[in-house]
Homo-oligomer: A and B are copies of this chain.
């Protein structure tokens, strides 16, 4: 694990975070009626939080094919909507029961549970509205393909399926392959969408997106291992949420199975492998390479 985050990555992250916040601010303008509470809850969760890794991955993957930044922002907003909705629902008392998220009270704490359920559902619908709207991209093939990919990545065969497995992990002991599969679905599927989206926006046919998928698989696993390491070693101040919860709940994690040292080695190996997938690209892949290194850095 390195502490080095390049200046240009930091600039790209900060720039994109501003773009994302500005776009959500516009998309989630209070309607000035009885739905204001719902929109305020959505704004609380969607604006001003997180590193926006997923929109950054979409942007970086789209950069490989010189895609219009407005188009990659749009696809990035959609996946961020899905990510944020999943956090809202994950934090509910019946799920992880978290009071804090990104250093702020969770939606159900600040508002109430019903509003949190509906704010999550609303961001979920907004994701698909953002992807399908014709004014941002005239190519209906691109819009329909992005929609299908995001639905697959977030549904029962993707993120939601992984979340259910995660719940089962609290009562069952998982072996290494089951743990890996759970994490591949829970966080890997959405990361896979981010890379795939870059290819779709770049009009790359499915067979040409194989390096993107390989890269996504590798950094998805590295990301999850790094997350588990933070959970074991991190401090609440850095992550903005309670730590050590996974261990407390007795969940099987990669670290629990192989130990901290081997987990760190494995994460580094995955990052090297991910960067290897980009061998055929030049400087246009530098942002993706920097993100791969960042994923396991201590700074995030």
Contacts and interface: CB of A to CB of B under 8 A. Distances in A.
Interface of A: 31, 33-35, 37-39, 42, 85-86, 89, 92, 94-95, 112-115, 117-118, 120-122, 124-129, 131-134, 140-141, 143-145, 147-148, 150-152, 154-158, 160-161, 163-165, 167-168, 172, 178, 181-182
A37 B145 CA distance: 29
A132 B193 CA distance: 15
Nearest to A36: B164
A120 B156 CA distance: 10
A39 B165 CA distance: 12
A31 B185 CA distance: 14
B94 A125 contact: no
Contact of A132 (B89, B113, B147): B147
25 contacts: A31-B157, A31-B161, A35-B165, A37-B164, A38-B160, A86-B121, A89-B121, A92-B113, A94-B113, A94-B117, A95-B117, A114-B167, A115-B167, A121-B154, A122-B160, A122-B161, A124-B125, A125-B151, A125-B160, A129-B148, A132-B144, A132-B148, A134-B148, A140-B140, A144-B144
Given A128-B128, A131-B147, A152-B129, A161 B121 contact: no
Contact of A155 (B115, B129, B161): B129
A114 B95 contact: yes
